[in-house]
Amino acid sequence: MKRNNNISFLIALLLLGGEYIEVQGTNNTPPPPRRRVLRLPFIRLRGGSSTATTAVKQKPKQRHVKKQKKRSRVGPPPPLILINNVKLSIDKLGNKIQADTINLGKNIGREWGKLTSNTRKFVANIPKILPKPGGLRRKKRIKSSKLDEVCHTFSSVLKGSEVDTAQLIKACKAHLSFMKSGGSSLRLVAKDLEANLHKAEKVYKKSPKEHKCLSSLLSCEKEKGIHDGSELHEKSAAMGLLWIRRSLAFQLDLYSSLITKTVHPREAAKSAYHLHLAPYHGWALRKVFPASLTQMPDRSVFIAKCGGIKEDELNDEYDRAIAKKLKVLVGHWQPLLGTWKDEFERLGLEDIRRV
């Protein structure tokens, strides 16, 4: 009987201990659901005592406790931990932004340095890229400066229907310099032009205002009676201007052949001579003048001399550029020579005698 009482006491103790452990282990968890209690029937023990014994199903309780622990692990963190985590995340983000900004600044500085260096190199190489002073365009502008000057001065000689005497003399001087640089082929033509130019300039300088235009100069000389009808005084301005006009007409045909490339310059010069000069030359000049024209070089040599370059420097581009300038000059001469001749014929000063 005493033994049965002891067993009942131990069972009660075990139940109380389990209850205490469960409460301590689940302090932070929500209260567990009500336990299923199995009440045992009264057991009558020896000695007449009876005790109500309760049996608890431990396994379901243990599963429930594990589920509660799992729920507590995956649940939301406490407020302080959440705030701390947010702060740490913001600090990390700020540090990353700061580091990226520093790296970006370094990259910008590095790329800016490269850009500056490349710009300096490009600027330094500009003189190498551009044509050199001795290049093709520079040569055209400098070495054909005499031809350019002739084209420029003759462009303003004819003003409407009047020939500006001062500008005509200036243009003829520029053309004389251009002819002398052309070699021996036009040496005799240049010498004749120079002598006649001197006659015209000498008369003009005596009274520039009265001799402002070609018509007034010729009229003044005619009114002074220095001519014998259409036979001009040998040292008069009219005589000089008459032969300058014939010389330019001869050269106009010669330069036209250089532009069109139709015939050899020698043949073109002979043809122009027989048309514009031979009718007014005596026996001696008709022997000497054509002989000088036999020295006329090939077209390439002639074109190179007109452009002020050596023959081995001549190429297609040079050829076109120089021929274009000659075409401009011929274009200035054609209307000028027409007006010039009209003035002589109007005043009856077209001297056709042979010399």
The predicted-structure confidence for 102-153, as pLDDT tens digits, reads as follows: 887 778 877 877 777 777 777 777 766 665 554 444 444 445 689 999 999 9
Intra-chain end-to-end CA distance of the chain, in Å: 183
Q: What ranges in the chain are assigned the alpha helix state H?
A: 2-25, 58-74, 79-129, 136-143, 145-154, 165-180, 187-206, 214-223, 237-260, 265-276, 283-293, 299-307, 316-346
CA distance 302 to 181: 11
pLDDT score at 42:
43
CA-nearest of 164, 168, 162 to 193 is: 168
Q: Strand 50-51 to strand 37-39: parallel, antiparallel, or no bridges (unpaired)?
A: unpaired
Q: Are strands 162-163 and 158-159 parallel, antiparallel or unpaired?
A: antiparallel
Kindly report the length of the chain.
355
Between strands 50-51 and 43-44, the pairing is antiparallel
Using alpha carbons, list the distances in angstroms from residue 8 to 19, 40, 270: 17, 12, 159
**How many angstroms separate the CA atoms of 224 and 208, rounded?**
16
Q: Which residues of the chain have pLDDT under 50?
A: 2, 20-21, 23, 25-27, 36-61, 65-66, 69, 72, 134-142
Report, in angstroms and rounded to the nearest whole number, the Rg of the chain calculated over CA atoms: 61
- Residue 23's pLDDT is what? 47
Q: Does domain 136-346 have CATH number 3.30.465.10?
A: no
Encoded amino acid at 51, one letter: T
Exposure string over 93-102, b if 16+ CB within 10 A, otherwise e: eeeeeeeeee
**Sign for the pseudo-dihedral over CA of 335, 336, 342, 345:** negative
pLDDT at 18: 55
Element (H, E) at 56: strand 54-56
Q: Check if the beta carbon of residue 265 is closer than 8 Å to that of residue 298.
A: yes
Q: Cβ(157)–Cβ(332) under 8 Å?
A: yes
Give the tokens for residue 28: 């932070």
- For residue 57, the model assigns a pLDDT of 44
- Which residues face 158 on adjacent strands? 163
